């Protein structure tokens, strides 16, 4: 379970860094990505969608970390739910970036179901 938590942290860092890396070529400053996206209309659309996917991840990440840490502390096996959540969030990110709308919704719904199952598993 600890490796899934560490993998999630790595995924989050990649989520945060990727839009900035992809726009660094045109903007060699350290301004926030929102400023870069507002300033430059030449930034590809998938970069702004990646940023939106990151904001969506930030909404469910605290719930995942709470359930994962409680699973570790309470010695409850939620590994399969956590790993499935992580895989679905990666799929969601890719589907969001490349406009694969029906698959994006399925991946998001699956990740929410995994969070619910992790929470129920703690009871």
The model's confidence at residue 43, banded by pLDDT at 50, 70 and 90, is confident
Distances in Å between the Cα of 78 and the Cα atoms of 5, 42, 84, 102 are 12, 44, 10, 27
CATH of domain 2-122: 1.20.120.550
Q: Calculate the average pLDDT of the chain.
A: 89
Per-position DSSP letters for 17-80, written without gaps between them: HHHHHHHTTT--S---HHHHHHH-TTS-HHHHHHHHHHHHHHHHHHHHHHHHHHHHHHT---HH
The answer on pLDDT for 11 being more than 70 is yes
Every domain of the chain and the residues it spans: 2-122
The answer on pLDDT for 26 being more than 90 is no
- What is the predicted pLDDT for the residue at 30? 67
């Amino acid at each position: 379970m600890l490796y899934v938590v560490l993998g999630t942290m790595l995924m989050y860092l990649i989520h945060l860094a990727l839009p900035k890396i992809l726009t660094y070529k045109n903007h060699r400053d350290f301004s926030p990505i929102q400023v870069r996206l507002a300033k430059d209309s030449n930034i590809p659309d998938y970069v702004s969608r990646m940023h939106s996917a990151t904001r969506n991840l930030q909404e469910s990440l605290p719930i995942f970390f709470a359930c994962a840490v409680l699973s570790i502390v309470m010695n409850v096996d939620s590994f399969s739910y956590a790993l499935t959540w992580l895989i679905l969030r990666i799929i969601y990110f890719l589907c969001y970036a490349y406009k694969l709308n029906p698959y994006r919704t399925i991946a998001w719904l699956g990740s929410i179901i995994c969070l619910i199952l992790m929470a129920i598993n703690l009871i």
